A and B are shown apart, each in its own frame.
Chain A
């Protein structure tokens, strides 16, 4: 058995257990050390993913291909950024405990298993490992009512989604007799011969996954959880799990159910259009920036789903490029949000940003860059994200999706530029506290990526291309 294909996951899990033991034994000053060890673990896992062996194993349960590798690197990058951002925030909020990085680490292991799943069972195991860690994280500020509420909401709705997914899996298994992706793909070659029960199963799986990527109409938990959870958790929720869920979604739809594209295409188109429109219009009324980012993420997931709905390698490439850029933009934006802190208290109203351009020009410039990028204005990375998805949609002849996509991005631009308006045009409110170097680091690195992506987009696009081809081989 070729167990080395799972080496990154194994190493990361062992490191996680080691950090746990270390953190318990060393009672004081363990937060910074454990966080650094976690980031080191992510780095090691990332190197192992890049240089690791490709192939399937564990009796067809696990598959390490280029597609998985691309997403794992993204997940690890998102998780690392989130962990670095959590350092300062957790410390100041009084929730600086060493379990935080450990939980993030285990959630990350779960996500890595998710994207490598080649069997519905592995898929479910990875998903649950991820979700359980995330439920705890959402309620991490246990003395804070909002955080507990967010954790509970996330748990209940996430549990419901898992139940739907599991039900779908059981239907698929019952009607086809296998849970292996490759075997499913060879069995389900024609949507007409597929039994209705099986299609039901596919739909339930799809619904469960839609919950995880927070596509409309399964998005209800997102704004509440984003707002309630500590911001350090929100930044994690908004990046890595989204990548993992979208990757899983893509793999399941294009792999085992790839030949049924006629059956699920319309569903994804509806999810995509609904998400783009709801994300764009609902965000306009928000005054809390975390909530706004929640709706913004719904809109972005809708856009990524538009790429998936085409069901071609070009579409998947669009999704992957989108997710890569989305992670950078979102992590950067949240770094700026975490920097919003006045007299030791975190503030999160959009109006609190008033006059940031005067008080902290660099932070304002970065956040403005992220906002223009999220709005998809060219030269910023966000434009390229949209470009590849739209290209795939037009190649596939999905004009409705393309038109709704660009028009909703105009509506979206309205609330993004409103934030810039508050920062630059409104009279200055009180200055924020000095921002921690870790925040500046994350915002700076992601900001450079976002602004300078246009200079040399080829590496990311090429990698996404290779990853997408792997899925359709």
Chain B
């Protein structure tokens, strides 16, 4: 076991929390110090996490940077961390988005700044830990513990209906996760271990698999969220402060899809194949229905929230095609959506900070006064639509290619999301940015500040980079996805052979 790099980036934010707790002084000093402490902590975490980017061996399909400490040895639970091609980029996504969020809340959060930063750093620990965990119990703990900081972030610093949104978010997600807990315990009892790599190579009886799959589904489908469990998302997004929305869209939604890719598909191959049409149906409904709903929204954040549901629908289609293009596309889509939707929420945050409303009709003609803003907004809007050359295109394209191999109609209906996506995104862009300025407060509106540039610049670079040279990202998971598809096919063939013997 080498240097515990993953544990370091997981727990380092906690060191920041301890420092934050010890800050003394009047309210203003505390606020300033809290901001800087949190920013530096998250920047250091990000810098360390870049080491993973450099040192990750892309040819290796297995888990790397593995560390393992006996935690509850008598129950075969270990504190085990490690990343493979599927999880590594999400670790990086979390560590990159956190400092941007802290920077984005620099001025918009004015009350209880210290508590906000504490919540955010705790949130970072939970997110990174969840993507690194290689033990099911450890994974579950991080997965569910995310609720604590997120509940507080929405509830304390949110909008007028924040209490409703926070409680709804909490209870929806908790209901799903406790059912997953039962499935986890059932697997533990049956396999005698909670080690994820071992469980991935454990075969469960087909009947058991179906029940386990449904329990996992309850948890992950709420988190993704899949239609019809998505109703908490628009509420949570609208009420959450900008940074909360960013993390919610950027990382937390990926936790559900990551769960499907990490647990449901490799561990329960037969059940996954059995339930794939069910998942496709829900996903297609999500893509089309929520896109139409997005068209009718009057609130910018709500519109982007619904578009997230639609995009995540494409992700689940991709993951459950069980072929390389589909899964790679799903993963790429998760990553690009993590960057692009996060950026779009930040875009909304910029004008919300100035005018204090998210109502689309309140705006218009921003291109005139905020050219830089209009440029950034356009770039992210195009990426969200899936314009070739931006991050959004690669993922959608690969998913549709993958879906074609399964079913023509699936590809057609899933692809319809792109058209509807173009409709609602461009419509939003037109109403906010173009047209004539009709209101006085918009005349004096200021363009992006240096701090906001610092937030958007990395996201713009990432969006273009992912669109123009996607191999530097897909290269990470090529080997892992190939291994996953191979294992899945082998497992299904095994079951068919068994069934043949029995008949």
Within the complex, the shortest CB–CB distance from B27 to chain A, in Å, comes to 11
- Chain A residue at minimal CB-CB distance from B155: A425
Q: Knowing A407-B175, A424-B156 touch, does A390 contact B182 (C-beta < 8 A)? A: yes
B residues within 8 Å of A by Cβ? 71-74, 112, 115, 137, 140-145, 147-148, 151-152, 155-156, 162-163, 166-167, 170-171, 174-175, 178-179, 181-182, 185-186, 188-189
Give Cα A399–Cα B156 distance, bound, in whole angstroms: 38
Least Cβ–Cβ distance between A389 and chain B, in angstroms: 10
- Report if A11 contacts B (CB, 8 A): no
Residues 374-395 (chain A) with a chain B CB within 8 angstroms: 377-379, 383, 387, 390-391, 394-395
Write the residues of chain A forming the contact surface with B, with a CB cutoff of 8 angstroms: 357-358, 361, 372, 377-379, 383, 387, 390-391, 394-395, 399, 402-403, 406-407, 409-410, 413-414, 417-418, 420-421, 424-425, 454, 457-458, 461-462, 465
B181 lies within 8 A of A406 (CB): yes
Query: Given the known A-B contacts A391-B188, A417-B170, are A402 and B182 also in contact in the complex, defined by CB atoms under 8 Å?
Result: yes
| Contact A454:B141 (CB < 8 A) given known A424-B156, A425-B166 | yes
- Beta-carbon nearest neighbor of A393 in chain B: B185
Cα distance A76–B181 when bound, in Å? 33
The one of B71, B143, B147, B189 in contact with A395, judged by C-beta atoms closer than 8 angstroms, is B189
A377-B148, A406-B178, A406-B181 known; A383 vs B167 contact (CB < 8 Å): no
How far, in Å, is B13 (CB) from chain A's closest CB? 14
Residues of B within 8 A of A391 (CB): 185, 188-189
Please, which residues of chain B bring their CB within 8 A of the CB of A378?
140-145
21 contacts between A and B (CB under 8 A): A358-B112, A372-B148, A378-B143, A383-B141, A383-B144, A390-B181, A390-B185, A402-B182, A406-B182, A410-B171, A410-B174, A414-B171, A417-B151, A417-B167, A420-B151, A420-B155, A457-B71, A457-B72, A458-B73, A461-B74, A465-B74
Q: Do A424 and B182 touch across chains, with their CB atoms under 8 A apart?
A: no
List of A residues within 8 angstroms of B185 by Cβ: 387, 390-391, 394, 402
Tell me, in angstroms, the Cα distance from A114 to B451 when the chains sit together: 67
For the complex, give the distance between the alpha carbons of A394 and B208 in Å: 14
Complex interface: chain A residues within 8 A of B137 (CB): 387
Q: Determine whether the beta carbon of B178 is less than 8 Å from that of A414.
A: no
Q: For B188, give the chain A residue with the smallest CB separation.
A: A391
Query: How many angstroms from the CA of A197 to the CA of B72 in the assembled complex?
Result: 45
- Distance of A34 from chain B, by nearest CB (Å): 37
Note all chain A residues with C-beta closer than 8 A to B175: 407, 410
Would B189 and A394 count as touching, CB distance under 8 A?
yes
CA distance A417 to B167 in the complex (A): 8
Min CB distance, A460 to chain B, in Å? 11
Within the assembled complex, what's the spacing in Å between the Cα atoms of A418 and B170?
11
The answer to whether A425 and B156 touch across the interface, beta carbons within 8 angstroms, is yes
Chain A residues near B178 (CB-CB < 8 A): 406-407, 409-410
Contact call A424/B155, Cβ cutoff below 8 A: yes
User: A378-B144, A394-B189 provided; 14 other pairs, C-beta below 8 A?
Assistant: A361-B115, A377-B147, A378-B142, A387-B137, A387-B185, A394-B182, A394-B186, A402-B182, A410-B171, A410-B175, A410-B178, A414-B171, A417-B151, A421-B166
* Residues of B with C-beta under 8 A to A403: 182
For A383, the closest partner residue in chain B by CB is B141
Q: For the complex, what is the distance from the CA of A326 to the CA of B150, rounded to whole Å? A: 25
In chain B, what residue has the closest Cβ to A422? B163
Q: Give which listed residue, A377, A394, A395, A454, contacts B144 with CB less than 8 A.
A: A377
- Residues in B neighbouring A357, C-beta threshold 8 A: 112, 115, 156
7 A-B pairs closest in CB distance: A406-B178, A378-B141, A379-B145, A394-B185, A425-B155, A378-B144, A378-B145
> What is the distance, in angstroms, from B160's C-beta to the closest C-beta of chain A?
12
